[in-house]
Amino acid sequence: MIETIEEQTDTGFAALGLMPRLADALAKMGYEEPTPIQAEAIPPLLEGRDLLGQAATGTGKTAAFALPLVQRLVSETSGVARGDKTGPAAIVLVPTRELAMQVAEAVQGYGRSLGISVLAVYGGQAFDGQLRGLKRGVDVVVATPGRALDHMRRETLKLGNVSTVILDEADEMFAMGFAEDIEAILTATPSTRQTMLFSATIPPHIAAVGRRHLTNPVEIRVARAAVAPGEAPRVRQTAYIIPRDYKLAALGRILDMEAPTSALVFCRTRTDVDDLTEALGARGYRPEALHGGMSQEQRDRVMRLFRAGTATLVVATDVAARGLDVDGLSHVINFSLPPEMGSYVHRIGRVGRAGREGVAITIADPRDHRQLQNIARFTGQRIDVAQVPSLADLRAKRLERTRATLREAIVEGGLEPYRAVVEGLIGEFDITDIALAAIKLAHKANGPAEQERDDIPAHVLAPIRVREKFVQERSAPRGPERTDTAPRRGPTPVRPLARGLARIFIGVGREAGVTPRDLVGAIANEAGINGKEIGGIEVNDRFSLVEVPEALARQVVEALRDARIKGRKAVVRRDRRWGE
């Protein structure tokens, strides 16, 4: 029988049972209070209970399992954990290379002062480096299932001493075809282990895994209050999906395009606020930071400047921004998605008041697409996914503003005192050249010149756009399955290839039972590529075509040549039949 734990109201990390050194480390990292999933999960996990947690990306679940894991690994006598050459004490299974690196970084960050050693193991990375790390001995291995199983078969990863197993984003791993790998890994670990399973959804097949491999688990489901009719504000909601490394550049371009009269930018932690404020300042903006680590006098100063309109760009945490209501706030920007759906509603509720138009912008990592869909369903409002502006877009926008400025000046009148200047130049220059020179000066005066270096490569932007279309297609209701008597479809017409992409030919298709999901899983696992970077996928009867970033095409081809898809080895090569 699964026990359900009621939501706790205590919001302090120290009150959850974490050791003082760990709580102090969190405070230094800028974390102010636990999210609901952390408040509910940490106490039973510290007691050694198994756990089945339903939590979407962005709810803070990494810390919910990583903090108890770190505390468990620390020796009671020395207070410091050490790597064991006979095998790790814990293994965390995740669906993608990117998430493996992210989780490993988080666990390492929480346990650095306590001596915890962590190793990320994933496809697309050379075995040699992973072998050296495993031979040295580590406390925690964070791995994708396919690569973990490869190491197990080579006997380079031994799980006999594992005391903790964590499955993160289980539904994604099963969707990518890792079910058998996960079963094999769980079976190879001791039955006395502590097991945690986290998933955004818990369909029957994942619940069955919980019944087979979890012992009397606690079930954590973070309750979310429903949004009352009319409570969610009516604002223009837009999301830009961009890899994390380019989020700062994307924010700069969006600020230049939107030109907000006053904007509130939300980050997750104090450290994030300080880092983003400094980075924006280096790019020529004038942001103000607002978080709980500042003195009351400093916070009051920022709030006073913001309300007066002297400061037009404030970067803040949710906690520090409580009670900060600014008349005429034009933009709310989520640089980090909030941990709760209700927090998103509260953030965007600050704009669009008193009949004014408001803008809510989210700059999301590709992995956040599911959370964006959940937010849209939760609020009952559409969130449009837009392309990050290009340099050409920025230049066109500036010219548009210059045109508007000139039009206002003409309508306003009062131009007569300047007529003598024009008449004095007509005898020397063409009237059109005179007008163009005046526009040039007005254009320079209308704002700083756009940044000339293209800090977001085309091959990064294009796959995200194509991938988002693919995600929407996957989430759409499916029609009836094809029957044996249905006419066989011919090849899908090949659409033009977006700039920065390459098309890969894979010699298996519908006749082999191949689906887009199978191809995403194979490429993500074997080539070590984030599934969100994969573009359009076309599955025909006897072959498939997959779009990947041009820079990664060779890596994908070489990785898949020795792989099996639906149990079959296939011809894999770049496709050039359409003049690519």
CATH of the domain at 521: 3.30.70.330
Within 112-246, where are the H helices? 127-136, 145-153, 170-175, 179-187, 204-213
pLDDT of residue 325: 65
Residue 473 belongs to some domain of the structure: no
Question: Same structural domain for residues 284 and 398?
Answer: no
Question: Same structural domain for residues 254 and 155?
Answer: no
Question: Same structural domain for residues 502 and 414?
Answer: no
The CATH number of the domain holding residue 30 is 3.40.50.300
d(CA 436, CA 38): 61
pLDDT of residue 295: 82
d(CA 437, CA 284): 27
Residue-number span of the structural domain to which 357 is assigned? 236-386
Answer whether 383's CB lies under 8 Å from 237's CB: yes
Answer whether 515's CB lies under 8 Å from 474's CB: no
Question: Same structural domain for residues 350 and 398?
Answer: no
Residue 313 belongs to some domain of the structure: yes
Question: Same structural domain for residues 318 and 374?
Answer: yes
Nearest to 293 by CA among 308, 278, 274: 274
Placement of tokens 């279309």 in the chain: 469
Question: Same structural domain for residues 270 and 359?
Answer: yes
Nearest to 64 by CA among 91, 34, 94, 97: 34
User: SS3 breakdown of the chain: % helix, strand, coil, rounded to 5?
Assistant: 45, 15, 40
- Residue pLDDT, tens place only, 42-81: 999 999 999 999 876 556 788 899 999 999 988 533 444 4
Residue 240's SS3 state is strand
Residue 506: CA atoms inside 13 Å, Cβ hemisphere, count? 38
Question: Same structural domain for residues 168 and 30?
Answer: yes
Cβ neighbours, 10 Å, residue 578: 11
Nearest to 169 by CA among 54, 46, 5, 67: 54
d(CA 511, CA 504): 19
CA distances 249 to 119, 395, 518, Å, are: 30, 16, 33
pLDDT of residue 471: 37
- Residues of the chain with pLDDT below 70 are 1-11, 32, 56-59, 75-85, 124, 223-234, 322-325, 339-340, 342, 352-356, 446-454, 458-499, 531-532, 576-580
pLDDT of residue 427: 81
CA distances 71 to 31, 162, 204, 268, Å, are: 17, 15, 32, 23
What residues does 386 pair with on adjacent strands? 240
Answer whether 516's CB lies under 8 Å from 547's CB: no
pLDDT of residue 488: 37
Residue 268 belongs to some domain of the structure: yes
Q: Which long-range contacts (CB under 8 A, 24 or more apart) does 393-397 make?
A: 393/253, 393/257, 394/253, 394/256, 394/257, 394/450, 394/451, 395/450, 397/256, 397/257
pTM of the model: 0.49
- For 235, the token pair is 């604002």
Of 338, 356, 386, the residue at which a domain comes to its end is: 386
Residue 196 belongs to some domain of the structure: yes
Of 221, 245, 268, the residue at which a domain comes to its end is: 221
Of 340, 356, 386, the residue at which a domain comes to its end is: 386
- For 417, the token pair is 């005192």
- Overall size of the chain counted in residues: 580
Amino acid code (one letter) for 146: G
- For 431, the token pair is 């009237």
Question: Same structural domain for residues 283 and 198?
Answer: no
Residue 166 belongs to some domain of the structure: yes
pLDDT of residue 84: 55
Question: Same structural domain for residues 361 and 214?
Answer: no
pLDDT of residue 487: 37
Can you spell out the DSSP letters for 12-24?
Answer: -SGGGT--HHHHH
What residues does 462 pair with on adjacent strands? none
Nearest to 517 by CA among 471, 569, 459: 471
Burial of 143 (0-12, 13-18, 19+ CB in 10 A): buried
Question: Same structural domain for residues 315 and 176?
Answer: no
Taken in order 229, 232, 233, 239, the sign of the CA dihedral is negative
Residue 483 belongs to some domain of the structure: no
Number of H helices, E strands in the chain: 21, 21
Q: What is the number of domains present in the chain? A: 4
d(CA 98, CA 169): 13
pLDDT of residue 580: 40
d(CA 22, CA 13): 9
Residue 292 belongs to some domain of the structure: yes
Cα 78 from chain centroid (whole Å): 37
- For 563, the token pair is 């792989």
Question: Same structural domain for residues 319 and 396?
Answer: no
Question: Same structural domain for residues 250 and 103?
Answer: no
Residue 159 belongs to some domain of the structure: yes
Euclidean distance between the first and the last CA atom of the chain, given in angstroms as a whole number? 58
